[in-house]
Chain A
Amino acid sequence: MIEWAVITENLPEYAAGLWLTLQLTVISLAAGLLLAIPLAVLRTSGAAFVSRGVWAYTYFFRGTPMLVQLLLVYYGLGQFEWVQARWAEGNSLWLVFRDPYGCALVTFALNTCAYTTEILAGALRATPHGEIEAAQACGMSRLTMIRRILVPGALRRALPAYSNEAIFMLHGTAIASTITLVDLTGAARNAYSQHFAPFEAFIFAGLIYMCVTFALVGLFRLAERRWLGHLQARKSRQARA
Chain B
Amino acid sequence: MLHGYLPSLLDGAWLTLQVAVLSLALALLLGLAGASAKLSRIALFRAPALAYTTIVRGIPDLVMMLLVFYGGQIGINEMTDRLGWGYVDVNPFAAGVATLGFIFGAYFTETFRGAFLAVPAGQLEAGYAYGMSRWQVFSRILFPQMLRHALPGLGNNWQVMQKSTALVSIIGLSDLTWLADQAGRSTHQPFVFYAVVCAFYLAMTAASGILFRGLERRYSVGIRRVAA
Interface residues of A (CB under 8 A from B): 59-60, 62-69, 71-72, 75-80, 168, 170-175, 177-178, 185, 188-189, 192, 198-199, 202-203, 205-206, 209-210, 213-214
Smallest distance from the beta carbon of A31 to chain B beta carbons, Å?
Answer: 21
Cβ contacts under 8 Å, A206 to chain B:
55, 58-59, 63-64, 67
Known contacts A66-B163, A71-B181, A79 near B198 by CB under 8 Å = no
Smallest distance from the beta carbon of A203 to chain B beta carbons, Å?
Answer: 7
Asked whether A79 lies within 8 Å of B189 as measured between CB atoms, the reply is yes
Cβ contact of A63, chosen from B67, B74, B170, B206, cutoff 8 A: B206
Q: List 9 A-B contacts (CB under 8 A).
A: A64-B197, A67-B167, A68-B194, A71-B181, A72-B190, A171-B61, A188-B66, A198-B71, A210-B55
- Chain B interface bracket (under 10, 10 to 19, 20 to 34, 35 or more): 35 or more
**B153-176 near A? 1/0 per residue, CB < 8 Å:** 000000110011111011000000
Smallest distance from the beta carbon of B208 to chain A beta carbons, Å?
Answer: 10
Known contacts A63-B205, A171-B61, A198 near B190 by CB under 8 Å = no
Cβ contacts under 8 Å, A64 to chain B:
163, 197-198, 201-202, 205
Asked whether A209 lies within 8 Å of B190 as measured between CB atoms, the reply is no
Number of A-B contacts (CB under 8 A): 120
Cβ contacts under 8 Å, A175 to chain B:
62, 167, 170
Cβ contacts under 8 Å, A72 to chain B:
190-191, 194-195, 198
Smallest distance from the beta carbon of A213 to chain B beta carbons, Å?
Answer: 4
Asked whether B197 lies within 8 Å of A79 as measured between CB atoms, the reply is no
